[in-house]
Amino acid sequence: MALEERARSCLLRLRHKLEQDIKPSYLMDHMMSDGVLSVDEEQRIRTQSTRKDQAVSLIELLLRKDNRAYISFYNALVKEAYDDLANLLHDDLPRLSPDSRKSFADGVTPYVQTVLSEGGVPQRPVVFVSRPELVNRIRDKLYRLQTEPGWVTVFGMAGSGKSVLAAEAVRHHSLIEECFPGGIHWLSIGQLDKPDLLIKIKSLCFRLEQSLDSQHLQRPPNSLDEAKERLRFLMLRRYPRALLILDDIWDSTVLKTFDIHCRILLTTRNRSLTDSVSGAKYEVEVQSGLDENKALEILSLYTETKANRLPDEARSIVRECKGSPLVVSLIGALLKEKPNRWDYYLRQLQKKQFKRIRKSSSYDYDALDQAMSASIEVLPEEHRELYKDLTVLEKDIKIPAKVLSVLWDLDPEEVEDILEEFANKSLLFVDNHSKPYLYYLHDLQLDFLVEQNRNQLESLHAKVVQQYKQHYRDGHPTSGDKECLYWTRFLTYHMAKANLSQELRLLMFSLDWISIKAQIMGPAHLINDYVEYGHILDKENSKERSQFQEFLSLNGHHLEQRPFPDVVQLALSQPHTSEVYKQALLQAQDRARMGQLYFDWLNKSSVQSLSRLVIHPHQGSICSACFSHDGTKIASGGVSKTLKVFKSTSGEKLTEIQAHDDEVLCCAFSPDDRLIATCSSDRKVKVWNVERAMLIRVFDEEHVEQVNHCQFTNTMRPLLLATCSKDDVMNVKLWNLNRPSSQNTMFGHFEPVNHCCFSPDDTYLSTSSNDGTVKLFKVSSANEWKTINVSDVIAENDEDVIVKCSTWSADGKNIICAARNAVLVFDVETSNMLLEIKTNRMSTVQYCHACPTSNLLAIAFSNYAVELWDLESNKKMADCSGHLSWVQRVQFSPDGSQLLSCSDDQTVRLWETKKVHTSSGICLKRDSDVLFTDEEIIICAADNCNRLQVRDGRTGLVLFQSEEKSSRTRCTCLCKKPSAVVLGQEDGTVQVLEVPSGKLLATLLGHTKTVFHCQFTQDGQTLITSSEDTTIRVWSWQSGECKVLRGHEEQVRSFSLISSSPTNTRLLSWSFDGTIKLWDTESGEKLQDIKAHRAAILSGHVSPHGSLLATTSADKSAKLWDCESWQHVHTLGGHRECVRSCRFTWDSRCLATGDDNGEIRIWSVKDGSLLKICSQGSNDMDSLHGGWATDLHFSKDDSLLVSTGGYIKWWDVQKGEALQTFYPTGTALKRIHISSDFSTFITIDNMGILYILQRVV
């Protein structure tokens, strides 16, 4: 609607007077709040050079607008005390309809309410005072995010109302509609550790995914890195124009988690936080105090008194507390109940000295100190003591009333009444959205309590522990409710603060506590406890703490499993000398007496771990670690902003330096180990004296973006330092420490450079860049010598190729670089690629380093792994497992004997590389055989060097090892008499060797393709083999005579003798051609030929009574056959994937079948009915079995069933319930061998590790 003529005439008549008197900037804030002035319009007016010009421009704009704009202008004049001008406009005010007047009151339409409610944006507080100037300033900045992602920072001291302002700023229809149609999503952060931050982001991702189709839903992320990528995908792909509000951010490292190129509004006390992130940045400062009128308005609302009728003490209170919103609210809440105490509360404030509560605080606590004293003193004396108990709470932690019920030894209802009283006096806050209600203190209140009770902190925490022990004397809580969560998380904290070191040790060195806490909280909190309280736990015996910490580090991923694993069983896999193992064995023996199943890994000592030392030097991710040149020291740095130097032998800390203002991205020793260089996201390069921990040089002017890497020359003549950065052009520099500026800048890259590295003789410097190239510069001239275009070699599409790093071979002839999921080796002279190591496509190579003394190459991955490769043979030598998050850096020691790796899991690990060339690089193939006798257990299997190994089954020690075979061994079988072993090879050759001498007894030629299965008859005189060439051969192996059984059309993976009797010559075979065939091995005659399945037959088993045959197939069925009539008896349907395995009970009454979902079914042989499903499968790999169910065996009494898949599981046959699970280091178990008494179990995983498991009794 156009402006009414009367109003227009009034404006024209008063134009000159208005232009002379008004200050447009103040008026426009109100008009923008009413929605009648856009950001662009306000900006155009502000660009006018003088105040009068701005006024002229504003009046011209008003003349073109409607009646709402005139009314808003009038209201702005009233609010800014232009009473005389407002009176002149009043008589010509246009009249609006009720609907239109309502529509622009505050912009809060039902649409806005819905969007904010769905995004978790807090409601307005009950006592709400408008602050339009700040709200519009924030909205102005938010409108800047309309066309591009970026950051709007609202900063100010605690209690200044930042959160309320942020929530109010987005409570605006036009803003949401125009800028953030994807929604507004609120996340309260506070001071979080990584596990809590992960929980927060998980919750946000869950909220965002709720509106997506079920097909787009994914499993919850397991790590912070995975959560960040999930959030990045959701914000960029699903909600590209949504706003994410991060409330109460403290730490730049937390903020970096949200550096995902989206639109973010954040509240914080530290205005410099966004220096560490990329993108457009805007900021709004919130003053620590309200102006007097606003503060008085709060008091008037609390006391329900008009502002102009408040007593004089009201103004004095506001001045005394400097207008702090928090303090004014505290006093207001008190006055609401005692309205006649104005003078009393003013005197309480005036009596207090102004002081800082904590010297390191970035804000003033004066007002809170005064208000808190006044607030607490009005409590009854017994309640004051209860309030003092809240001193023990952690910041930003909300607790249920039941926790305080334990602490105060009061009924929950009584506690709730007391807490309600505290809340009414603004002494604590209530989260009403949670059920049950949660209670928490503001940081300022908590800091006040800590200062007031500093001398009693230890006793207050001891009281918490004592009350807990009294209340839970029968055992720790395990319910998983809010109360249980609090105690599980913070009991160790209270013990540590109470200096109850013995109680803390008993608790944390208990497998029962580990089981409870890991099940409720996950392993991350547990590991963090060992890091945080290590200084207390190590006072008596540091080895015990490291053993428990190592146990959790190596088994954390299992402790994330559901159903939750048996911690005692996991602990039985620890070394025999470990306190963890000793405690587990005692518990296992006690529980075994009550009928529970546990299994001890007998040969674990033969599986040598490369890991020698695990160090937790920092709180937060470790970005870089390096050896000193003499190998005795290690330096590390990361998001903690510190540099630490410690002994490489023990991890003992030698030096700690607060090195930078942001995360330390790289550190490097000088050749003589006297100096360390560091570089950081703060764009600075620093050089330190190691011994004195003294700063020698700072280079802080030339790099304008974060400095990614630094390295000294390998020799002192001359000593130079190379650095590289995210700068677009001047991104590689050489520094002479005697000069204040760089000696040279190396030009060539026009995108960020991630890494730089001197050649062994310091002639060249290699640089690795986001532009997909590695460049080699001559150090002497700083000129580019050559460019290696890595992107041309590995680019599979138009995606950019980022080269992460490069490293030189020991002789300087080759350069090795990392990009995507590959490592590439180039000849330095020709630039030709010599070798490509292609790794798992699901992970990226983070870093690589070549050993200075050998052909070994270490590779760090984003999937938490470290791998060692031999560059000469292009073979992987070892997997170094143990890290729980992304591995950021690897480096060999100067003598090549050790390798260090550092990770986001806050650890530096040392690995002994000498072991790689002995046992750790040797692994067995899964095709194996085991011979159980009364005297011994013999195991045979081929290794990865294609040698046949025969091992002692009780110790795992090698008894015999053959020479390396020219063709890969694919099957093997042992014979008791004569003592021999047979092996079948890929080229079709079959060899029989004497055990233990290894003498070649026979070479049997005839098969033309891979031999898949071999088996001796009972008397050991006949050997039967089957092959990919579709034939079965029956050998009189000592003479070499052979009968060939032909008839199958596809490969024959297995076969079975109908009976073990020497007189029974009938043989059953099954094939991928879907047929079963019965043979007479004596004559070679085919007795039966049955088309059994529509697809490949994957397994078969003859019942112990010899009357039935079971077959399973890729057609998802199992079938039963009568072994006399060869009639089909039953078809067992119901599996949803290939049926991989089968086994009859010893009484032949039941059959178990296992499929590729890990589902195991038990059937009645009599009528083919389904009796039990042991593990419900799904379309994905079943978490109950971790993969295909590949092998099944019953105990002699048919009460127990063991199965293999990703894990080994033991089942109660009657109930169909899992009794125990053993988690191997690797996965994909093929076959398990079992002693007749069901006490010894032997298998090999896909990493080639042998497991000899003995039932604990």
pLDDT of residue 563: 83
**Which strand (E) or helix (H) includes residue 992?**
strand 990-994
- Report whether pLDDT(102) > 50: no
- Report whether pLDDT(356) > 50: no
- Inter-residue long-range contacts of 117-120, CB under 8 Å, 24+ positions, other chains counted: 118/183, 119/183, 119/184, 119/185, 119/186, 119/245, 120/185, 120/186, 120/187, 120/207
Question: Which comes out higher in pLDDT, residue 304 or 777?
Answer: 777
CA distance 279 to 281: 6
pLDDT of residue 754: 96
Average pLDDT of span 650-670: 89
Indicate the pTM of the whole model: 0.61
pLDDT of residue 922: 65
Please, what's the b/e burial string for 177-216 (b: 16 or more CB within 10 A of its CB; e: otherwise)?
eebbebbbbbbbbbebebbbbbbbbbebbebbbeeeeeee
- Quick one: pLDDT band at residue 715, thresholds 50, 70, 90? very high
Q: Choose the weakest-confidence range: 291-295, 331-335, 353-357, 659-663.
A: 353-357
* Maximum mean pLDDT: which of 22-26, 156-160, 1013-1017: 1013-1017
pLDDT in tens, 947-965: 999 998 887 788 889 999 9
Q: Choose the weakest-confidence range: 178-187, 397-406, 430-439, 823-832.
A: 430-439
Neighbours of 82 (CB within 10 A): 20
pLDDT of residue 1135: 94
Q: Which of 1019, 1018, 1023 is nearest to 1003 (CA)?
A: 1023
Q: In the chain, what are the helix, strand and coil shares in percent, each to the nearest 5? A: 30, 30, 40
pLDDT in tens, 520-565: 987 767 877 887 898 899 887 778 998 998 888 667 667 867 788 9
Question: Which comes out higher in pLDDT, residue 452 or 1238?
Answer: 1238
Q: Tell me the pLDDT of the chain averaged across its residues.
A: 87
- Quick one: pLDDT band at residue 738, thresholds 50, 70, 90? confident
pLDDT of residue 44: 87
Whose tokens are 């050649």? That residue is 759
pLDDT of residue 1177: 41
- Report whether pLDDT(1182) > 60: no
Cα–Cα separations (whole angstroms), residue 743 to 676, 680, 684, 739, 776? 19, 20, 16, 8, 18
pLDDT of residue 786: 94
pLDDT in tens, 868-923: 999 988 888 887 876 767 899 999 999 999 999 999 878 888 887 876 544 455 67
Question: 636 and 647 in contact (C-beta within 8 Å)?
Answer: no
Residues 6+ apart with CB under 8 A from 775: 746, 748, 749, 766, 767, 769, 784, 786, 787, 788
Q: Choose the weakest-confidence range: 526-530, 812-816, 1049-1053, 1160-1164.
A: 526-530
CA distance 1065 to 1071: 20
pLDDT of residue 97: 43
pLDDT of residue 363: 30
Three-state secondary-structure class, residue 282: strand
- Inter-residue long-range contacts of 255-263, CB under 8 Å, 24+ positions, other chains counted: 257/197, 257/201, 257/224, 257/227, 257/228, 258/228, 258/231, 260/228, 260/231, 260/232, 260/235, 260/236, 261/149, 261/232, 261/236, 262/149, 262/232, 262/235, 262/236, 263/145, 263/149, 263/150, 263/179, 263/180
How do 1041-1045 and 1054-1057 pair as beta strands? unpaired
Question: Which comes out higher in pLDDT, residue 1025 or 64?
Answer: 1025
CA distance 695 to 689: 6
Question: 767 and 808 in contact (C-beta within 8 Å)?
Answer: no
- Quick one: pLDDT band at residue 593, thresholds 50, 70, 90? very high
Question: 615 and 646 in contact (C-beta within 8 Å)?
Answer: yes
Average pLDDT of span 960-974: 92
pLDDT of residue 103: 44
- Quick one: pLDDT band at residue 350, thresholds 50, 70, 90? low
Question: Which comes out higher in pLDDT, residue 122 or 1074?
Answer: 1074
Q: What is the CA radius of gyration of the chain?
A: 37
